Amino acid sequence: MEIVSDQQRKKIHPHKFTLWVAIGSIIMMFAGLTSAFIVKSNQVNWTPVAMPKVFWLSTAAILFSSLTLQMALRSFKQREMGTYRLLIGLTMILSLVFLALQWAGFRDLWDQGVRLKGAGAGQFLYVIFGLHALHVIGGIIALVVMFVKAFTGRIKIYSSVPVEVMATYWHFVDLLWVYLLVFFIIIGR
């Protein structure tokens, strides 16, 4: 009996496995897009784009949201539901702050004359950052579901798997944003 339970503990939960497959797919998609950016940036008529300073503030917001979500996960595992609710709410607020700051950054780009059409970094910025925004919005929807469940749902089986999956996804989205920002600052010049 002990051997069977050791084998079950070593297996990855199906939801976690699915998440890692999805993360691998997302990494390949963004690797392809950033590779295309590098190739296109060597063209003669390429126009670089200066990143708005507000993107640094949005980076701080999303990194802090990752920290609060990790703390929420720890609170959930320790069955400190009051702290968990507070931290999951704070994570949700920080994620919305990130989106608002992103919107401000893209308005700044638009005001600089950076458009989706034409030769230059603008077309890549809107496509790549737009795809990232879709992934962030998906994460925010999951955060809202977790927030609602934290206040309304009864926990029948105390499993931390949903919170772990959400935290892993959110940390990935955070790291992806940092990668994209640094990539466009260094390579996009």
For residue 44, being part of any structural domain is answered with no
Q: What is the CATH number of the domain that holds 30?
A: 1.20.120.80
In a domain, 180, yes or no: yes
Q: For 123-137, what is each residue's pLDDT tens digit?
A: 778 888 889 999 999
Q: Within a domain: residue 1?
A: no
- Whether residue 168 is contained in a domain is answered as yes
**Per the domain annotation, does 61 fall within a domain?**
yes
Give this prediction's pTM.
Answer: 0.84
Residue 125 placed within a domain: yes
**Does residue 76 form part of some domain?**
yes
Q: How confident is the model at residue 7 (pLDDT cuts 50, 70, 90)?
A: low
Q: How many domains does the chain have?
A: 1
Domain containing 158 equals 12-39+51-186
Which tens digit of pLDDT belongs to each residue from 96-131?
A: 999 999 999 989 988 888 777 766 667 778 888 889
Q: Check residue 69 and give its pLDDT.
A: 96
CB 55 within 8 A of CB 105: yes
Position 46 in a domain? no
DSSP-assigned letters across all residues of the chain: -HHHHHHHHHSPPHHHHHHHHHHHHHHHHHHHHHHHHHHHTTSTT----PPPTHHHHHHHHHHHHHHHHHHHHHHHHTT-HHHHHHHHHHHHHHHHHHHHHHHHHHHHHHHTT--SSSSSHHHHHHHHHHHHHHHHHHHHHHHHHHHHHHHH---SS---HHHHHHHHHHHHHHHHHHHHHHHHHHT--
